[in-house]
Structure 1
Amino acid sequence: MNKLLTALALAGLTLATTGHAQTADPKTEWAAKVVALQQGPELDRLVDQLTESSAQDLVANWGPKLDANVPKAKQAKATEELNAELKNFAVDIKQVISSKVGKIGTDAMVPAYAERFTVDELKQLAAFFESPAIKKYQAAAPELGNIFVQKLLEAARPEVAARAKQFNEAATKIVGSAPPAGTGKPAAKK
C-alpha cells in the first residue's frame, strides 16, 4: 500500500511540476523529490512499528482486565475473541497511518527539507537515494536488521536470564511467591 502511495505521490509531483514549471520553486520541487525517494521499506517498517505500538498499548490495558474479570474457564475463548478484535484494530490502524504518509510528507517534510538544504544539496540527496547501491541497501535492510536483532538477543540472553533470576529472587523475598517459569527472557523481535 505504501508503494502505491509513493507511486501516487510521485505521479502527483510530476503533474504538479509540469503544470507549474515556470512558477514552481526548484528548491521545493527537489525537496519533494527527496521526500518521495525516501518512502520505501524503512517507512513501511515505521508504519508497522507505530501500528504494533498502538496494539501493545491495548494489550497492556486489557490483559490484566481479562485475568481479573473473566473466569479461568472462559479465558481461552475471551482471549481468542480479543485477539481477533486486536487483529482488526491493527489492520485499521495501519491503514489510517499509511493514509497520512503522503500528506505529512508534503505538508511537513518538503518544507523542512527545503528550509535545511540548498538546491544543490537536494540534488545530491536525490542522486544518493536513486543510486543502485542505496536501493539495494533499502531492499536488504529488513533482513540485515533481523540478523542484527537475532544475534543481539542470542548474545544478551544468558546475562538477561541471570539478571532476571536475581530480580525474581529479590521479588520473591519482597512479595512472597515465585513468578511463573520462563519470565525475564528478552522477547524475540518480529
Structure 2
Amino acid sequence: MKFHLKQLTVAAALLLAFGAQAQTAAAPSAAKKELIAKVLAFQQPGIESLARALVEQPAARMMQGAGAALQQVPADKREATAKAIEADVRKFVDEASALTRDKAVQLAPTTIGPMLDEKFNEDELKQLIAWFESPVNKKYQQMGGEMQNALGQKLVAEMRGAIEGRLKTLEQGVAKRLGLSPQPAPTAPTTTKPVTPSTSAAKK
C-alpha cells in the first residue's frame, strides 16, 4: 500500500510539473506580445467598422420600418416626423457606436490576441506586419472602396428591373394578406451602401 501511495505521489508531482511547463510554454514572450499588439493596431480600423456595423444594421431596419409607418401619418406632418425620427436614430447610432467601438477595442487583445498567438509564430507575425506596412498593401487598401463601388453600381444597374419587380410582387402579396390597399412599391437601392441615417458627420 505504501508503495502504491508513493507511486501516486510521484505521478501527481510529475503531472503538476508538466502542467507548469506547459503553461510556461503557452505564455507568449514579451517580443511576441509586442508583435501581436502591433498587428491588432493595424486591425483597429476594421474592428471599429465591425462595431459600427453591428449598430447600424438594426438601425437601418428600424428606419425602413419607420418609412413604411410614415405613410399612416398625415401628409402635413410627415416631413417633420421623418426628420425627427432620423435625428433620433442618428443620435442612437452615434452614441451606441461609440460604446460598441470602445468595447470592441477593449476585447480584441483577449479575443483575437490568443488566436494570433496560437496560429502565428514570431517570424510569421513579422511578415504579416511587413505586409501591412508595404506600399503594395496600402495601394490595394486604397482601391478597396473604388472596386466595391464599381461593382455595386454595375450590380444595381443590371438588377434594378428584376429587384423592383420582385419588390412590387412581394408588396402586393403582403397587402393582400393584410387586406390593405397596396402602397407604391419601394425602389431598388441606388447606392452600394445600406439604407442608414446619415452618419458621415459623426465619424472621427
Q: Is the 8 A contact 1:37 1:129 kept in 2?
A: yes
Name the amino acid aligned to 1:29. E
Q: CA deviation at 1:184?
A: 5.4
- Structure-2 residue corresponding to 1:91: 94
Task: Decide whether the 8 Å contact of 2:52 with 2:100 is kept in 1.
Answer: no
Residues of 2 paired with 1:74 and 1:109: CA distance? 49
CA distance in 1, matches of 2:168, 2:64: 23
User: What is aligned with 1:56?
Assistant: 60
For residues 161 and 31 of structure 1, what CA distance do their matches in structure 2 show? 47
Query: Which residue number corresponds to residue 133 of structure 1?
Result: 136
8 Å contact kept, 2:44–2:105: no
1:27 to 28, 32, 36: 32
Provide the C-alpha distance between the structure 1 equivalents of 2:174 and 2:103, rounded to a whole number of angstroms.
45
Cα pair distance change 1:89/1:175, threshold 3 Å: closer
Question: 1:146 corresponds to which residue?
Answer: 149
Distance 2:179 2:66 in 1: 26
Secondary structure in 1 aligned to 2:192?
coil
CA offsets per residue over residues 72-100 of structure 1, 9 Å max, x none?
55343332222211121121122112222
Distance in 2 separating the partners of 1:45 and 1:115: 25
Secondary structure class of the residue paired with 1:180: coil
Task: State the number of aligned residues.
Answer: 166
The one-letter amino acid of 1:96's match is L
CA distance in 1, matches of 2:172, 2:66: 28
Amino acid corresponding to residue 183 of structure 2 in structure 1: P
Unmatched runs of 5 consecutive residues or more in structure 1: 1-22
Q: Which residue of 1 aligns with 2:10?
A: none
Structural RMSD (CA): 3.1
TM-score (norm 2): 0.64
Q: 1:89 to 1:73 in 2, by over 3 A?
A: same
The offset of 1:131, in angstroms, is 0.8
One-letter amino acid of the structure 1 residue matched with residue 109 of structure 2: T
- Residue 185 of structure 1 is matched in structure 2 by 188
Percent identity between the two aligned chains:
31
- For residue 37 of structure 2, what is the amino acid of its counterpart? A
In structure 1, what is the Cα distance between the partners aligned to 2:148 and 2:137? Answer: 15
1:48, CA displacement in angstroms? 3.8
Residues 31 and 114 in structure 1, CA contact (< 8 A), matched pair in contact too: yes
Stretches of structure 2 that go unaligned for 5 or more consecutive residues are 1-27, 194-204
Tell which deviates more after alignment, 25-34 or 179-188: 179-188
